[in-house]
Copies of this chain bind each other. A is one copy, B any other.
Amino acid sequence: MMTPTTPAAEDYLKTIYAHTEWQPDPITPSGLATRLGVAPSSVTEMVKKLAANGLLTHVPYGPLSLTDAGRLRATAVVRRHRLIETWLVREMGYDWDEVHEEAEILEHSISDRLLEAINSRLGFPPTDPHGDPIPDANGAVDRAPAILLATAPSGHAGTVLRISDRDPGILRDLAADEIGPGTRLVVVEPLTVRLANGRSRRLTVATADSIWLTA
Report A's interface with B, CB cutoff 8 A: 88, 91-94, 101-102, 105-106, 108-111, 113-114, 117-118, 121
Contact = CB atoms under 8 A, between A and B. Distances in A.
Contacts of A111: 101-102, 105
Copies in the complex: 2
19 contacts: A88-B114, A91-B121, A92-B114, A92-B117, A92-B118, A92-B121, A93-B117, A94-B117, A101-B111, A102-B111, A102-B113, A102-B114, A105-B109, A105-B111, A106-B106, A106-B109, A106-B110, A108-B109, A109-B109
Nearest to A110: B106
A129 B111 CA distance: 20
Majority DSSP secondary structure for residues of A touching B: helix
Contacts of A108: 109
A87 to B, nearest CB: 10
A86 to B, nearest CB: 14
Given A88-B114, A101-B111, A106-B106, 6 more contacts: A92-B114, A92-B121, A102-B113, A105-B111, A108-B109, A109-B109
Contacts of A92: 114, 117-118, 121
A89 to B, nearest CB: 12
Nearest to A117: B92
A110 B113 CA distance: 17
A97 B124 CA distance: 27
